[in-house]
Structure 1
Amino acid sequence: MSLRSILGRSSRIKKASSKSQGAKRASPSKRRSASNRTAGGADYEEDDVFDDKLDDCGLVKALAMDMNLRDTAQAIRYIRSHMFTPMPQQAGGMNSIRIAEVLSYRKNLPPIVTVSHIQTLLSSPSAVEREAAELAQSGIIRKIVVARRGDIGETLILSSDLDALIDGTSVLPETTKGTFKAYLQQTPNTQSVHRSALSEPDVERLFRAGFLTAHHAGFVTHSSLSDTVNTFSRPEDRTSLVSLETVSRQPTGSLGTVGGAGAVYAAGGSGGGHGPGSLLPASVTELRLAIPGNGAFLKMVSSALEHLVALLGKSRYREAPETLLRDRWDGAIDREEVRHAAKRARGEFAGILPGQTRKWKRFYGLSFDWVLQEAVGSGLVEVFETRSVGRGIRAI
């Protein structure tokens, strides 16, 4: 047998094609990103190196790291003092105007804390409920409930902080302040205020200042709520008198087919019940206690919870180690500082500055631990021990 027959028809050695060489030279990161692509086409981040589920060695019962927490009042002060991270001292990426906006936003937020957040810090949720009821009866704290907001709508505030808010409001005269504080001391557990309990001028002033909100008896509407807030509302609160499910059951030609009396006003418009120069319609017979700035607090909390759950959704099994999730929340600042350490030592600009991340641009430096505790209390995530990579966080 000749050598030509062994080698085949052509004695030349063929060079590998460029396509095959490109496949051989493919970087590990590209192969990793290709392996992180599911059959449905979903992409996951390259830092998600956990291709399997984390080991679950039991849920974490309490998230508090401070062992000095003993009661609800201490937990309220602890949560408020650990809500935001300190302002960056250098290379923050924020000018003086933005720094002033961040500090002003933090200062104007009401000193309230959700009940579910306190329950995550202390070991027994039922004990927190009983203690909160006792402290409210004693006049130490006051519970403020915003209807149809779920767990984030049930908040607590120290009575001393509420008195300071009333005293610091410049639009209220001293007589109105004294009358309102005396009424609160006489009714420590009340959530609603009848219009006959206060004079009409005092009701108007308190309504303008944000300490009272209108409540239509027997009327519920959700047309003015955003999808963000509806996400955390309870199932029984998601229907309204103007929804198809309710309107379709009303008799033809009745007020129920258009949402009932006061539908236009409750949806944000102006109705015929308004008197001249009055903010309250005549149909409103009951008022509810409120805290000025509570809307901004609810908006920030609901947006932060949605963002945290979205960060968990970047992992294959919607779970990640706490260190990895913290790094995503902070915008991977630590990773960029290590990568560009030499350039920063020479004074050159490199990497991502804190002011350019969503944590500071949208959430004004909201702490990761604070958001995690809020998410656990709202029932959106759960924290468990892995014994290998620390604590794990899983979306429910």
Structure 2
Amino acid sequence: MPLNYTAAHSSRISKPSLKRSASSPFSLHKQRKPISRASSKPEAFDEAEDYFGDRLEDRGLVKTLATDLSLRDVAQTIKYIRSHMFDDLPEAGGFNSVRISEILRFRKSLPPTVTVTHVHAFLRSPTATDKEIAELAKAGVVRKIVVPGRGTGSSSIAEGVILYPDFERLVHESGLDEEIANTLLQRLQDNPLLLNLPSNSFTASEAAALKQAGFLTSSSQGQQPSTPFTHATSPGTLTSLLSVSRAPSGSLAAVGGESAIHDAGGSGTASGIRRSSSQLSTENLHSSNRTFQISLPNTGPYLRLLTAARAHLIALLQKSRFKEMPLYMLRERWDGGIASDDPAARAKKYRGEFTGVLPARTKKWKRFYGLRFEWVLAECLGAGLLELFETGSVGRAARIV
């Protein structure tokens, strides 16, 4: 046996390795490098909302939503829009008796009016529609209602139309005195195209009763924004502008005179400031031009509902990458993903496999009182907020203009 063969080379004897004592109970465990993961996508849009990887095929715009052949004039269109505004209350939708009462009471309180832009969505020519509205208003068939300060242009909600029989019924059911109600209706029949009625059309007691009922609001003719050259509480006049333009350049009169700041509504020493005779005559003329704006009761809740519904539908489209979506998918989003009412869905519910949302918990019923999807779609289409087009593969689709 070789001399260099010792017990250290034997496989039966192993030399213990010297290791430092562990400083912590986890130091003996194997350390692994962290796994590199792919960076998340930017949150410009939700991936769950990005239904298609590319834009939808566009085979032509849809110019009108009229599918019913009976919609041939404005009067029939107004009746159709009003009758298709809300969905029926679903059975077993999760509503209690108090909520059902609130929904029905709110629907009944809304005025029977529609916006002019909504009518445009069902008739082919907006110009011809406006002419027809003017002719029907002159004949006493419809009445046009304008709410100032509610936007301008195609997306305005300030202009509405109501059938005159509905307006007449609303006046008689408002609880007004019969004589005051007849006086209002007579004034409207005598002036079918006027949006404002002179202040001398009613007595003080009649005007107060009609304002309280919501059929009149105060307004003024000839109001103009105040400028540094006019008084803040009176409309600007051409006489004041003419006198300023004729003043020598660089003089105090060229910038409105000594009382320019006071006339613009500012504060200052008014000891030497007096209103001129032209200003007093202007204010007297302004007070004589006081008029009454024709209105409808509960117009405010109606306009708030309309504005919120428009904004919500546009917000649903904005969640998509290309701001467009098929109508069937947009309708599902508007309805809130509630479970369908077909036999298969009812069988799943009985087996305990119900995965849908109760209608009472959706925004459609909590905030919009069951406002129908087709009604909001037509409102946005007529206002020019979106456009419809044929895809050829998934039916009609909507996109933001």
Cα deviation, residue 385, structure 1: 1.0
Change beyond 3 A, Cα 1:68–1:306: same
Please tell me the residue identity of whatever aligns with 2:185.
K
TM-score (norm 1): 0.74
Cα deviation, residue 220, structure 1: 6.8
Residue of structure 1 equivalent to 2:124: 123
Matched, 1:353 2:342: no
Contact 2:110-2:302 at 8 Å conserved across structures = yes
Structure (1/2) with the larger helix percentage: 1
Please tell me the residue identity of whatever aligns with 1:184.
L
Contact 2:143-2:164 at 8 Å conserved across structures = yes
Contact 1:321-1:389 at 8 Å conserved across structures = yes
Distance 1:216 1:255 in 2: 20
Distance 1:108 1:210 in 2: 12
Please tell me the residue identity of whatever aligns with 2:55.
K
Matched, 1:253 2:258: no
| CA deviation vs aligned residue, 1:359-381 (integer Å, no higher than 9, x gap) | 00000000000000000111111
Is the partner of 1:208 in helix, strand or coil?
A: helix
Distance 1:355 1:220 in 2: 48
| Correspondences of 1:208-223 after superposition (within 5 Å) | 208-219=212-223
Contact 2:60-2:389 at 8 Å conserved across structures = yes
Question: In percent, how many aligned pairs have the same letter?
Answer: 44
Residue of structure 2 equivalent to 1:228: none
Gaps of 5+ in 2: 1-31, 226-231, 234-254, 267-286
| CA deviation vs aligned residue, 1:24-64 (integer Å, no higher than 9, x gap) | xx9xxxx9xx5xx44xx323151532121111111101112
Residue of structure 1 equivalent to 2:332: 327
353, 360, 368: which one aligns with 2:373: 368
Distance 1:18 1:284 in 2: 83
| CA deviation vs aligned residue, 1:118-153 (integer Å, no higher than 9, x gap) | 111011111111111110000000000111213211
Cα deviation, residue 296, structure 1: 0.8
Contact 1:216-1:283 at 8 Å conserved across structures = no
Output the aligned Cα RMSD.
Answer: 3.0
Is the partner of 1:156 in helix, strand or coil?
A: strand
Cα deviation, residue 335, structure 1: 7.2
Please tell me the residue identity of whatever aligns with 1:85.
D
Cα deviation, residue 168, structure 1: 0.3
53, 75, 83: which one aligns with 2:77: 75
Distance 1:95 1:18 in 2: 57
Contact 1:340-1:350 at 8 Å conserved across structures = no
Residue of structure 2 equivalent to 1:388: 393
Matched, 1:189 2:197: no
Residues paired across the two proteins, number: 319
Please tell me the residue identity of whatever aligns with 2:389.
F
Cα deviation, residue 213, structure 1: 0.7
| CA deviation vs aligned residue, 1:96-119 (integer Å, no higher than 9, x gap) | 100010001001100001111111
Please tell me the residue identity of whatever aligns with 1:141.
V
Larger Rg: 2
Distance 1:47 1:60 in 2: 24
Distance 1:389 1:348 in 2: 29
281, 293, 296: which one aligns with 1:291: 296
Matched, 1:139 2:146: no
Distance 2:82 2:389 in 1: 25
Residue of structure 1 equivalent to 2:184: 180
Distance 2:34 2:288 in 1: 77
Please tell me the residue identity of whatever aligns with 1:128.
T
Distance 1:217 1:311 in 2: 41
